[in-house]
Amino acid sequence: MAVSWRNWLANEGVKHLCLLIWLSMNVLLFWKTFLLYNQGPEYHYLHQMLGLGLCLSRASASVLNLNCSLILLPMCRTLLAYFRGSQKVPSRRTRRLLDKSRTFHITCGVTICIFSGVHVAAHLVNALNFSVSYSEDFVELNAARYRNEDPRKLLFTTVPGLTGVCMVVVLFLMITASTYAIRVSNYDIFWYTHNLFFVFYMLLMLHVSGDDWKPYKLRRLYFIWVCRDIQSFRWFADLLCMLHNKFWQENRPDYVNIQLYLSQTDGIQKIIGEKYHALNSRLFIGRPRWKLLFDEIAKYNRGKTVGVFCCGPNSLSKTLHKLSNQNNSYGTRFEYNKESFS
């Protein structure tokens, strides 16, 4: 017999609509979180270290958090009884939908199982990458304490790792005891293991609070300094070295881009002293190629406003002022400011 669409919508329409809304929420949450950790500038260094594992672990965690917050609602019998007997839910279709609460509970449970597997696998890869990719430049970002540290230590000696392992054990007990064979043969096992949900949620709160990965913004300061002789750099070199080391220790090496230009040379092409090694690697002979520099800054700051501050001779001021007023293909706007002493 042919299916009546009117009857199908009356009996199944609301159920499938709710399922579609739930499914859309999961897909949207997973995708938005994945893109955030894959392309977000604040997670650039962490993504360089962990790669796809970072994106999958965080995206799956978002889906897990959503479903862990929903899975208990269908089992709140007092709440369901209140809605069934309340005039606040006048629609019979909506009331019948409440009878599907167990199905929704199972659906959320299966989803939690699947994405727990994805989450665990991604974190196993992350633990290995933390160990292999350890760098002194990213101490605060790296969960490992030294290169090639045993990844198992990250799983069993950290709060996120240890609580995660315990949650997997609890979830495994709840899943296996929920099978039809167990429920039929010994319902008490199913009942008591399902009451471990209280332990699971306590572990979940500890797991989330201990899993704190700090984002770092990629806001950049370009410091361009042009001098005629090498000695002119020395009076400001100590401060620049201090800033450079500070930002590297804070895992923000891209915050300041230092470029030193020596327009004339008498044979000495570096600042004498071991502590100035970081500056010498940023020392160039000649003058800046201002047009290329403006294009580079515009490219990395699409559609944004960039402040330009000039302190120097009028000839340099005019060059930078002119470049600030020119159009670029990236929609970047340069605001020119000057402090001239000549």
3-class secondary structure per residue, 220-236? CEEEEEEECCHHHHHHH
Domains of the chain, earliest start first:
7-157 (no CATH), 221-338 (3.40.50.80)
| Rounded distance between C-alpha atoms, residue 320 and residue 307, angstroms | 12
8 Å CB contact between 141 and 54: no
pLDDT in tens, the chain (342 residues): 565 677 667 667 778 888 899 999 999 999 999 999 998 877 877 888 899 999 999 999 999 999 999 998 888 877 777 766 665 565 666 666 777 788 889 999 999 999 999 999 999 999 999 988 887 766 667 788 888 888 898 888 888 999 999 999 999 999 999 998 998 899 999 999 999 999 999 999 999 877 766 565 757 788 898 888 777 777 777 788 888 777 777 767 777 888 888 887 665 566 656 667 777 777 888 889 999 999 988 988 888 888 898 888 888 889 999 999 998 888 888 988 887 544
pTM: 0.64
Residues 6+ apart with CB under 8 A from 171: 112, 113, 116, 200
CA distances (Å), 41 to each of 34, 129, 248, 254, 293, in order?
13, 20, 17, 11, 21
8 Å CB contact between 177 and 154: no
